[in-house]
Structure 1
Amino acid sequence: MKRFALAALAATFLTLPAHAQWKPDKPINIIVPWAAGGSTDQVTRVVAPILEEALDAQIVVVNQPGASGSIGTKAALDAPRDGYTWTANAIANNATYAVTGLIEDTSIEDYRIYLHVANVPVVSVHADSEYQDFGELLEAMRTGDAVTVGTAGVNSSGGMALAAIKEAAGDINARMVSYDGGNPAAIAAASGEVVATTQLAVEQTEMIRGGRLRPLAVLSDEPLTVEGLDPIPPITEWLPDMHIAADYFGILIPTGAPQEVYDAVDKAWAEHVANSEELQTYARERGAVFDPAYGEEALAKAMPVIRAEACARVERGEAVVDPSEIGIDCKAAE
């Protein structure tokens, strides 16, 4: 009798459905809230095919630029939380939109984070510019007429980089000119429409290789080495006390979807994205840092830049919401 009961119990467990991996039954949309060709767009289009294969799903990258990336980001937040609408960005942007009032009542806790690379801004000028190094450009900003600087907007990596330079350098006369994305901003500098750009290295490397832009400094405390280019000197050669934090980029899936969605993407990230030769090649050739992570590890890596950007908004008088209201402690940065 006992043997029969055990057999029946075993049979019951065998008939229970095993936990199945999520199998998307329609296309997944990744909203890139910037124009085509920029840093977020570039790397997302490298990662999307990797995830397509891993998830056996169609992934569509949709560009929806405007308002420093907040329009497309809000569209992702407002979409049904069914796991089929994601977004992509520099993580600090999504964490600080509420601080600047671009998106109300949001924080980094609204997403599960998947990081792939860290990017660095580069200060560049037209290849025929009179400025041979960053020190000469900085002197012009301090003593001459306003130097125009192309960025993708105040909340973009280039906009934040320019603000950080102003904060570190003190009284300088630099006027930001905003474009719909990092690529148009870099093109504006390459064409001479603006004097300089502070957009990311990945948005400039092809124009640097092509002899259209001259890089002057990277916002780092170490030189930037990009395959096929001379090392770009660190900005700390001229601004030694400038605070530097790695600018992490990734894909963000709004919370509230079925747990199987996040489980499946976690698995794909660990097994495929973290080992991707295509992504490593992209980083090496474009001047990015290959550094995949997801979940709590990703948040821990991104928090220094999240905290730095949010608290800098307060210091510059740009904040409409105190960072502490969305869980960012500025005292921890002191």
Structure 2
Amino acid sequence: MLRRHLLAATAASIAAPVTLRAQGAAWRPDRPVTIIVPWAAGGSTDQMARIVAAELEAPLGQRVVVVNQPGASGSIGTRNALEAPKDGLTWAAGAAVDVGCYKVLGLLDTALSDWNLFFAVANVNVLVANPQAGFRDFGAAFEALKTRGQGIGVATAGVSSAGHNMLEALRAASPGMQYRHATYDGGNPAMIATVSGETPLGAMLLVEAAEMIRARRLIPLAVQSDNPVTLAAQGSSPAIEIPSVRRWVPNMPAPLNYFGIWSPKGVPEPVVQTMTTIWRDTIANSQRLKDYATSRAALFTPLYGQQAYDEAWKMVRQTAWLYFDGGKARVSPDTVGIARL
């Protein structure tokens, strides 16, 4: 059901007509284009952005450079993209839900509608355990979090990160559950902290933990998805089926987490039109992105424009109110145009 919905959405996106030649609106940058990744190198955003950058270079006829600017849950790098000259040469990358919730968290005065959105993949969250932590399945970890959670460290990429959102959704659906939040400057550092035993548990994106799961350095406990997710076989590693957290917590929401790149509204229209054409003709047919999604148990979702906004808005609404109900929000979502579901 989920994949049929996404395939239909992608097909509609790919079919959207764009007639740049008739409008005389082609954009050819005369300098390198920068994509700011507001997280540490090696994480999910960094992985995706570097593939997208490589795919953009030929159709743009220019170098596309990825720059890591981590800090403040991604808001520092995103602010730099927002405040850069609106000439199309500076883009931000990340999860759309972060951009949609920064204002609620008091991190950055921006909203999802302030950006031209271009998505590449949708990721699922996973809770993993260090093999020495003693948690062999989600049920055991869940009981520990309910009985002594304040003393159990869980590594995430920081406040508002995908892993943090998963933990807050789990806490909202399971009154009494607690955890000690161990924050890092990205999913890759959080994953490394869990592998090293610095924390017994980690909550992050599956794409960030996939290789260490295959190497048996991390135990996958559950994914935040409607259904179990299979991590594809690779080399000597067999396929690994990871159960859905909803097996234990049926009422826990599992919206899709869209990742891509975006530029602030106000850039010249030829920039948006050219990137739309590239997304339709190049990104939507990118074998590198398809292979990346398959190998990391992500979903290939080359959406753009209004359709990208509509899909991302679902998770923004759910997450913004999750922050508010959990006492994490600085302002009520309804005061910034985010109505409760």
Which of 136-145 and 33-42 deviates more?
136-145
1:251 aligns with 2:251: no
1:232 aligns with 2:242: yes
Q: CA deviation at 1:18?
A: 7.0
- Structure 1 partner of 2:5: none
1:321 aligns with 2:331: yes
Amino acid in the other structure paired with 1:316: G
Amino acid in the other structure paired with 2:106: G
- Structure 2 partner of 1:216: 221
- Structure 2 partner of 1:191: 196
> Matched residues, percent identical?
45
- The CA deviation string for residues 129-157 of structure 1, in whole angstroms up to 9 with x for no partner, is 31110000011112236211000111111
Q: 1:99 aligns with which of 104, 108, 124?
A: 104
Gaps of at least 5 residues in structure 2 are 1-21, 234-238
1:116 aligns with 2:120: yes
SS at structure 1 position matched to 2:92: strand
What is the TM-score when the length of structure 2 is the normalising length? Answer: 0.90
Change (3 A) 1:136 1:45: same
Q: Following the alignment from structure 2 to structure 1, what is the Cα–Cα distance between the partners of residues 31 and 120?
A: 24
- Structure 1 partner of 2:141: 137
1:277 aligns with 2:287: yes
Q: Following the alignment from structure 1 to structure 2, what is the Cα–Cα distance between the partners of residues 257 and 313?
A: 31
Q: Following the alignment from structure 1 to structure 2, what is the Cα–Cα distance between the partners of residues 20 and 223?
A: 45
What is the TM-score when the length of structure 1 is the normalising length? Answer: 0.91
Moved over 3 A (4+): none
Gaps of at least 5 residues in structure 1 are 1-16
Q: Following the alignment from structure 1 to structure 2, what is the Cα–Cα distance between the partners of residues 48 and 291?
A: 16
Which of 18-27 and 133-142 deviates more?
18-27
Which of 301-310 and 17-26 deviates more?
17-26
SS at structure 2 position matched to 1:216: strand
Q: CA deviation at 1:325?
A: 3.5
Q: CA deviation at 1:46?
A: 0.9
- Structure 1 partner of 2:129: 125
Which of 220-229 and 181-190 deviates more?
220-229
- Structure 1 partner of 2:80: 75
Q: Following the alignment from structure 1 to structure 2, what is the Cα–Cα distance between the partners of residues 144 and 241?
A: 22
Q: 1:61 aligns with which of 63, 66, 71?
A: 66
Provide the alpha-carbon RMSD of the alignment.
Answer: 1.3
- The CA deviation string for residues 42-101 of structure 1, in whole angstroms up to 9 with x for no partner, is 111111111111211111100000010011011111111111110001001001101110
SS at structure 2 position matched to 1:297: helix
Q: CA deviation at 1:31?
A: 0.5
| Count of aligned positions | 314
